[in-house]
Amino acid sequence: MSDMTRREWNKMALGGVAGVVIPGETKKINSKFNGVQVGAQSYSFRDRSLDELIKAMAEIGIGSCELWQGHVEPKGSRESLREWRLSVPLDHFKEIRAKFDRAGVELYAYNLSFRDDYTDAEIERGFEMARALGVTRMTASSTVSAARRIDPFAKRYKITVGMHNHSNLNDPNEYATPDSFARAMQGASEYIAINLDIGHFTAANFDAVDFLGKHHDRIVSLHIKDRRRNQGMNVPFGEGDTPIKAVLELLRRKRSPFPANIEYEYAGKDTIAEVRRCLDYCKQALGG
């Protein structure tokens, strides 16, 4: 080590050199604006493979990911998927985590949608997968009735599960209304929580800002998209009725510990360009 390199190393060790990356470590991508972590649901990149989605997030500059099961699991029949879940080595998930780490993207949560036809072994295996991914949070487009079966595993593994809503008001067993969340959490542990999709919530004609303010402590993540009221379509950010700016401002004021995850679902031409557009909208709304 030369004298110059030694002096630089000593300064770095003493905190005198800002932004220096220690050899062998990857610099984490920073997409936190005025205290609000903006991330992405990897479903936004559903037209890409796992490796391609990680590359795209790094290119856009998004540093937090909620990983959709479609980027992890093979395509197949219901029975073949069950068999895969029960037999796939957990090292598969550790390798996935390592890929995110190398790219400087935080893996925040695993999105595995437990349904009523999941066996207990399949539910538990989902928590083993999440633990192998190194996350303490999951999200699930699940059912209200499944929450009771999920809760004991969530408590055992100490992994919080945020239930994800859609806008289907015709099925009381689906998450769509404030009441459906309340029924799932009634009598459950603190590990049964909320993954609020503010676009779907708006399309179902509910107030996302009001709900967020009242249930902030039970929310594990947000999905940020823009939809129109009355079951309206997905549209580019700023063109619908979803109060994205007001929600982000509330997160800033409350210093929320959970991310606002972009979920790109409207019709666009290029995924990377559109997700970058969504990110720029959120960044501008936060004054970042």
Residue 24 is predicted with a pLDDT of 54
Rounded-to-integer distance, Cα 55 and Cα 51, Å: 6
CA gap 247, 249 in Å, rounded: 5
Euclidean distance between CA atoms 42 and 112, whole angstroms = 12
Distance, CA of 16 to CA of 8 (rounded, Å): 9
For each of the domains in the chain, give its residue range(s) and CATH number, in order of start: 30-285 (3.20.20.150)
Q: How many CB atoms lie within 10 A of CB 171?
A: 12
Closest CA to 70 of 96, 46, 88: 46
Residue 131 burial by CB count (10 A; 0-12/13-18/19+): exposed, middle or buried?
Answer: middle
Is residue 240 within 8 Å of residue 226, measured between CB atoms? yes
pLDDT at 138: 98
Per-10-residue mean pLDDT, the chain, length 288: 39 36 71 98 98 98 98 97 98 98 98 97 98 98 98 98 98 97 97 98 98 98 98 98 98 98 97 98 94
Q: What is the pTM of this model?
A: 0.90
- The residue count for the chain: 288
Q: In this predicted structure, what is the pLDDT of residue 288? A: 74
According to the model, what pLDDT value does residue 22 have?
42
In angstroms, rounded to a whole number, what is the distance separating the alpha carbons of residues 50 and 140?
A: 19
Residue 7: predicted pLDDT: 41
